[in-house]
A and B are shown apart, each in its own frame.
Chain A
């Protein structure tokens, strides 16, 4: 009984920490750089996502949130899979922009192999060409809300 209460409390604390400290890693899997510029704009003082605890990390080992921009090209596919495999659990993926969602204007290019969710599980989709910084922040908040709503026991794994 006591252990269950303890585990539940611990799970809630961990979940609280997880919701409040999502560190992001940015990966360009064949984007035209439009979304990348918007993502960088989101990190500038005007939008300041450090309010939400979001920090851009250099190493996939230290990131919780993988932000993928662009349709996946033949060349970037292996790198995308490797970066995703390098991230420690629990890990989340945000697909950013129309191309990451559905290949966008690159839909019949010879070198494009598919949208992001064909290769790795995607937790939140942010549409737009490119999405505005407000849309990116809304996507992050949606992801955090999803994490918050998950039962605490699930968050502990």
Chain B
């Protein structure tokens, strides 16, 4: 009974979705304040979600109807499953087994895959271009992001999130000993979320709304929701791995909030990169930086 409650109400399920909406609001409000605007009201993401859920769902001609309905559901299911293995709100994860870090990271990637497929199954040319861009970007940030998240695993000597979190809460913050890995992980998360400067896949001025151009009602709502869940799960992962592991919920919330502020400021500072510039950035600098940090860490381990 308590397990079902934990899955559906707290910390998974409803609490997770509400927290995801809260994080979206904080992100949008901060962005607005940084642009000297007033910004959205606190219930804005909830109103957007309910409105989209109640809107007419158009399945365009030429699209695969089954996949068109299924993809948003699959992506939301995958990212909420990934949330089960992360210490949400600083609490112990619902499930834990050796190697769950890899599983969580790859479940988060399902969102990008589903977004891309959602563009590729329609006849819309903007959605096609957007879908291809999502895939291109996925191949550019995925490797560095994974490398950066595996660094703490290397240091702690385990592939299990709870073990790494326990290790980091006992030792110096990995942010101080592995700064490069931290930076690559945060920027990788921004790439995963298609936040500026990595928003080429949904560039409104070029390709309408990217791969989600043809989605109107429920599908769009579920995709937006799953992106918010990825935001909260990604911030939780980075906070647990790099910012001193799990703590009491309030302190943990403060840590993820600090990360979110950093991400929002970066998002406001930089202009959109062209898709080739994104790929170049990741493969010329991101991967090399992460690999360099890996080498240093391995050397340090060998010496010590």
Contacts and interface: CB of A to CB of B under 8 A. Distances in A.
Contacts of B41: 20, 51, 53
B38 A51 contact: yes
Contacts of B48: 17, 21, 23, 53
B215 A62 contact: yes
A61 B119 CA distance: 14
B215 A61 contact: yes
Contacts, number: 89
Interface residues of B, number: 34
A89 interface: yes
Interface in A28-46: 45
Interface of A: 13-14, 16-18, 20-21, 23, 45, 48, 50-51, 53, 56-59, 61-62, 64, 86, 88-90, 156
A21 B221 CA distance: 13
B213 interface: yes
Contact of B44 (A21, A64, A89): A21
Interface in B57-99: 57-58
A21 B47 contact: yes
Secondary structure dominating the interface of B: loop
Given A45-B36, A48-B32, A62-B215, A18 B54 contact: yes
20 contacts: A20-B41, A20-B44, A20-B51, A45-B37, A48-B38, A50-B32, A50-B39, A53-B40, A57-B204, A58-B204, A58-B205, A59-B212, A61-B58, A61-B213, A61-B214, A61-B220, A62-B212, A88-B58, A90-B56, A156-B54
A59 B51 contact: no
Contacts of A48: 32, 37-39
A51 B39 contact: yes
B55 interface: yes
A58 B54 contact: no
Given A48-B37, A48-B39, A61-B213, A14 B50 contact: yes
